[in-house]
Structure 1
Amino acid sequence: MYGEAYLTGTRAKKRTAAIGSAGTLIAAALIAGAVTAPTASASTNSTDRHRGYSEAQGAAIAAARAAKAGIDWQDCPADWGLEKPIKCGYVTVPLDYAKPYGKQIKLAVDRIGNTGTPEERQGALVYNPGGPGGSGLRFPRRVVTKNAVWAKAAKAYDFVGFDPRGVGKSTPISCVDPQEFVKAPKMDPVPDTEADKLAQRGLAREYAEGCYERSGEMLPHMTTPNTARDLDVIRAALGEKKLNFLGVSYGTYLGAVYGTLFPTHVRRMVVDSVVNPSREKIWYQANLDQDVAFEGRWKDWQDWVAANDAAFHLGTTRADVQAKWLELRATAKKNPIGGVVGPAELISFFQSAPYYDSSWVPVATVFSKYVAGDTQALVDAAAPDMSDTAGNAASENGNAVYTAVECADAKWPTSWKRWNRDNTLLHRDHPFMTWANAWMNLPCATWPVKQQTPLEVRSHNGLPPVLIVQSERDAATPYEGAVSLHSRFKGSRLITEKNAGSHGVTGLVNSCINDRVDAYLLSGALDSADVVCEPHAVPKP
């Protein structure tokens, strides 16, 4: 949801990939498979049993241990897809921070050194791309590929990525067999009858049960505060006294929680495309808000398609484009295209357009080809690749982590009456994503482990100014989230990209934004007041 955009089955996978450039997909880059440290000895476990630790004490113990151990950097395993000179390693953290000497897990990290001189180096810049469930391991590749947007920052910083707990190489969790997870076509997310809703409720309950059966030991500890504690342990293992952090999408909530828990450990923090950190929003209401924003951005894309009818031949008005979308959807519902692309798969593919401007042309092109008679282009784009076992495992793992974190972070409504009422009302005016989003999150209504109370995000003494970047019409993280965080983090600055809606703004070419991000990272410089930037260039067919 709050990261890379795709949907598999009844759960719309909406997770950001602000990796490399905005809109890059990461599904195939993850291979589930991590090294789990052995359980601590009975003697050290007895330390936890006989002395109660707060999670803050446990985090301090783990960080001190990591600072002493450091990271044993090695060439990355060949199947990780991370070329030299990127180095890889592991950082050990407690599964439960209240038991710092108990069960340990390992987190995969990677880094590439700064490209400038030793004198220019300002430490490590640690990155999270969103999700929950996104991998940050491809972040150092921005240096390898000579990404111009990040060239100045790369001179000063080592670029460091990591797989959060439960993700990819970091003790991955699972809820269902990956090949079953991606199998298509899935049930239409938009219910026609009460029987349809009952079937979807059954699928959601089964999914929650599968998470517990396959990953029960991890589930109680799959929370954003624990990931923030992991982030502080990584900081210590890197030998950094203070953290430099770049978080996109869900990564902004991770940053907000980190800044609240560890205000004096922050040096520089950039948060881009902001999750609303209000306790009242995390996570049930945040998803409902997202449905409204997706509808608005979907219409923006349709307007652009209509304005470029000479290229796409899908109609000269938004209504024309919507009519063709509804016709396509009805066709796929009656007879899945190519036998595998039904309405669920269509939403999976088409939702990338409201997510990212970089998807506007590719999605419109495939749509145009289909209307012109080329059904294979749509099948190739929207159907799962059953032969891609590694990619399917990554997809299933990402969805499992998304669900586990959001369900554990907050108490969700358990009344189906409320879910049904809220989503039925919302769907009337915002039909594009509402029910797909509801089914994706419904496992949280029957989640089998204790759900926490979200942290009250706010700045405390010692937190330096944070730079907040947000597009005005973002679908995945509505603009109000940036305003909310801005009000909570005193001294923060908000850069608004007006009349724009791409998700993951810092990876786009817009000098008004890029120059300010560079200035902040390189010298800590901020404008005396908030800034409004003109939008980046609109895509051209």
Structure 2
Amino acid sequence: MDSRRLLRISATALAVGGLVLSGCTSGSGAAAPSSSRSAVSGEPAAQAALARYYAQKVSWRDCGVADFQCATVRVPLDYAKPGADEVELAVSRSRATGPGKRLGSLLVNPGGPGGSAVGYVQGFAGIGYPAPVRARYDIVGVDPRGVARSAPVECLTGPEMDAYTQVDVTPDDAAERTALESSFKQFAAGCEKRSGKVLPHVSTVAAARDMDIVRAVLGDEKLTYVGASYGTFLGATYAELFPERAGRLVLDGAMDPSLSAEQLNRDQTAGFETAVNAFAADCVKKTDCPLGTESVPAALAHLKRFFREVDAKPVPTDGSRKLGESLATTGVITAMYDEAAWPQLREALTRAMGGEGSALLALADTYYEREADGSYANLMFANAAVNCLDLPPAFTGPAAVERAVPSFEKASPVFGRNLAWAALNCTYWPTPATGRPHRITAEGAPPIVVVGTTRDPATPYKWARALAEQLSSGLLLTYDGDGHTAYGRGSDCVDTAINAYLLEGIAPKDGKRCS
């Protein structure tokens, strides 16, 4: 794991969704930027330059994928200089199918940062969301700047990424610490070399401003939006900047924007410990559990022993790469995002412990979005670029990590050391952070539903409680269960509560609990 705060929906759980509706119809009444809290300087030239983006017309075309339409929307590269360079955002939508009156556009973001909303719409949301919603809403995905099809950040070649993902992230001596530092420095240098122009401009604030332009050019007076995982931070940031333009927002698997990078990393580490304990508790009840059937503590001790063994002697796979500790840990963590992947993890661990690591390597490749030809999607590049811009680095250097390791190991005896060292990645980032931890209240926004899962590995439940408390109109909906995010993952209680809000405007009671 090399980019902490990868608050994403994994490939095994991409069908998870959340839907948000606005009561506003589309049309020519979309708000202009003049009243925005995020407006650029009041100089007429700057205002006129920004207004041009809000007034642009979208030209839709056939995507070549089922019935989806695609387009591009232009936005300023730098909102401080909107008359200079620009970025083209990739947009895709599935049109409202009817029957019934069309109610507007429904924007979705699957998380990351770095997850492709275009891919999410075309692969899942546009065909898998509830039929009554798809009947009356255009479901729209916008790849944020720096992501996938929207001026993507690029950093390393496929072979370079292969090497990067195999670096030991639990250094045992000075040589291994130097190698880990060097890998982070090479990653950062590659990003600066290949994407230096866009790196200073891929913050979540910039992406939220982009969403307001997209909202306007789609013809919607209010933004209707679903944010999952990191997408909750993007949605909350939009509500903070544009509370008067927020429609009904559902933020599922929430982040706490008031925390520092070190706190976020430590909390997420604890979240994965909670998840692996739940996995172990389930595993020891199975006859095929590779960690034994004695007890949860014994199973977790077995897993830690396995990580030490592959650290000392990587396991061969059916390809040229071997499964060392870093990739093995990533494979296990991948399965923590969705309990439906636990049987796959049991089989992968059984094979790896028997000396064949291909199945566990495949889980790690899913996490990194590595293709069969050895190429990588830009997920990990965009993830680091956004995270390292949004917050100051978690650590100033290796000595700071060493001091923090005990607290990380307390949070997670299984993953703590690995995830503490992985949080060193932003230390060497070439672009200074522009964001800071802060509470988001979004005064003036309509009710915002914040959804938290009690044993969520990537976005711990306490983050949802914290965000709902910070938001002046926040309402907390709790799912007592496993996995990352809650809506659309099998709880009738959660789905019914959110559907009532989305389709009928009836918000769930603050504090409602589901299982």
- Whether the TM-score (by the shorter chain) exceeds 0.5 is yes
Q: Offset at 1:383?
A: 6.3
Q: Counterparts of 2:165 and 2:443 in 1: how far apart (Å)?
A: 53
Q: Counterparts of 2:458 and 2:46 in 1: how far apart (Å)?
A: 31
- Which residue number corresponds to residue 68 of structure 1? 55
Per-residue CA deviations over 1:459-508 (Å, capped at 9, x if unaligned) read 3443100111110121111112111111122232111012x131021131
Identity of aligned residues (%): 30
Structure 1 residues 330, 122: closer, same or farther in 2, change over 3 A?
same
Aligned-partner residue type, residue 225 of structure 2: F
Q: Counterparts of 2:425 and 2:3 in 1: how far apart (Å)?
A: 10
- Which residue number corresponds to residue 315 of structure 2? 337
Residue 23 (structure 2) pairs with residue 17 (structure 1): no
- Which residue number corresponds to residue 286 of structure 1? 264
Q: Counterparts of 2:132 and 2:46 in 1: how far apart (Å)?
A: 33
- Which residue number corresponds to residue 285 of structure 2? 307
Residue 368 (structure 2) pairs with residue 388 (structure 1): no
Structure 1 residues 373, 421: closer, same or farther in 2, change over 3 A?
closer
Q: Counterparts of 1:173 and 1:332 in 2: how far apart (Å)?
A: 32
Q: Counterparts of 2:42 and 2:269 in 1: how far apart (Å)?
A: 35
- Which residue number corresponds to residue 262 of structure 1? 242
Aligned-partner residue type, residue 192 of structure 1: D
Aligned-partner residue type, residue 318 of structure 1: V
Residue 164 (structure 2) pairs with residue 163 (structure 1): no
**Is 1:86–1:112's contact at 8 Å kept on the other side of the alignment?**
yes
TM-score by length of 1: 0.82
Q: Offset at 1:91?
A: 0.6
- For structure 1, which segment, 523-532 or 287-296, has the greater mean C-alpha deviation from structure 2 after superposition? 523-532
- Which residue number corresponds to residue 213 of structure 1? 193
Give the 3-state SS of the residue equivalent to 1:393 in structure 2.
Answer: coil
Give the 3-state SS of the residue equivalent to 2:159 in structure 1.
Answer: helix
Q: Counterparts of 1:393 and 1:55 in 2: how far apart (Å)?
A: 42
Q: Offset at 1:204?
A: 1.7
**Is 2:451–2:478's contact at 8 Å kept on the other side of the alignment?**
yes
**Is 1:293–1:476's contact at 8 Å kept on the other side of the alignment?**
yes
- Which residue number corresponds to residue 359 of structure 1? 341
Structure 1 residues 460, 254: closer, same or farther in 2, change over 3 A?
closer
Structure 1 residues 310, 132: closer, same or farther in 2, change over 3 A?
closer
Residue of 414, 419, 422 corresponding to 2:404: 422
Give the 3-state SS of the residue equivalent to 2:322 in structure 1.
Answer: coil
Q: Where does structure 1 lack aligned partners over 5 or more consecutive residues?
A: 1-6, 26-51, 535-541
Structure 1 residues 532, 186: closer, same or farther in 2, change over 3 A?
same
1:135-214 aligned within 5 A: 135-141=116-122, 146-147=127-128, 150-183=130-163, 186-214=166-194
Per-residue CA deviations over 1:117-167 (Å, capped at 9, x if unaligned) read 351x221110111111111113334678753x6333222321111211011
Residue 295 (structure 2) pairs with residue 317 (structure 1): yes
Aligned-partner residue type, residue 135 of structure 1: S
TM-score by length of 2: 0.86
Structure 1 residues 14, 53: closer, same or farther in 2, change over 3 A?
closer
- For structure 1, which segment, 446-455 or 268-277, has the greater mean C-alpha deviation from structure 2 after superposition? 446-455
Aligned-partner residue type, residue 124 of structure 1: S
Aligned-partner residue type, residue 103 of structure 2: Q
Per-residue CA deviations over 1:218-263 (Å, capped at 9, x if unaligned) read 1111111001001111111211111001001110000111000000
Structure 1 residues 179, 104: closer, same or farther in 2, change over 3 A?
same
Give the 3-state SS of the residue equivalent to 1:230 in structure 2.
Answer: helix
- Which residue number corresponds to residue 401 of structure 1? 382
Structure 1 residues 417, 371: closer, same or farther in 2, change over 3 A?
closer
- Which residue number corresponds to residue 32 of structure 2? none
Residue of 197, 202, 205 corresponding to 1:222: 202
Q: Offset at 1:185?
A: 7.1
Give the 3-state SS of the residue equivalent to 2:272 in structure 1.
Answer: helix
Q: How many residue pairs were aligned?
A: 487
Q: Counterparts of 1:237 and 1:59 in 2: how far apart (Å)?
A: 19
- Which residue number corresponds to residue 131 of structure 1? 112
**Is 1:263–1:459's contact at 8 Å kept on the other side of the alignment?**
no
Q: Where does structure 2 lack aligned partners over 5 or more consecutive residues?
A: 17-38
Q: Counterparts of 2:329 and 2:410 in 1: how far apart (Å)?
A: 17
Q: Counterparts of 2:255 and 2:209 in 1: how far apart (Å)?
A: 19
- For structure 1, which segment, 235-244 or 427-436, has the greater mean C-alpha deviation from structure 2 after superposition? 427-436
Per-residue CA deviations over 1:418-470 (Å, capped at 9, x if unaligned) read 23211244225524333433444323223222322337443344310011111
**Is 2:388–2:433's contact at 8 Å kept on the other side of the alignment?**
yes
Aligned-partner residue type, residue 300 of structure 2: Q
**Is 1:179–1:389's contact at 8 Å kept on the other side of the alignment?**
no
**Is 2:90–2:142's contact at 8 Å kept on the other side of the alignment?**
yes
Give the 3-state SS of the residue equivalent to 1:102 in structure 2.
Answer: coil
Q: Counterparts of 1:211 and 1:70 in 2: how far apart (Å)?
A: 33
Per-residue CA deviations over 1:289-323 (Å, capped at 9, x if unaligned) read 11122112111111110022357673232234224
Residue 36 (structure 2) pairs with residue 54 (structure 1): no
**Is 2:106–2:139's contact at 8 Å kept on the other side of the alignment?**
yes
Per-residue CA deviations over 1:261-310 (Å, capped at 9, x if unaligned) read 000111110100011111xx142321111112211211111111002235
Give the alignment's Cα RMSD to 1 decimal.
3.0
- Which residue number corresponds to residue 350 of structure 1? 332
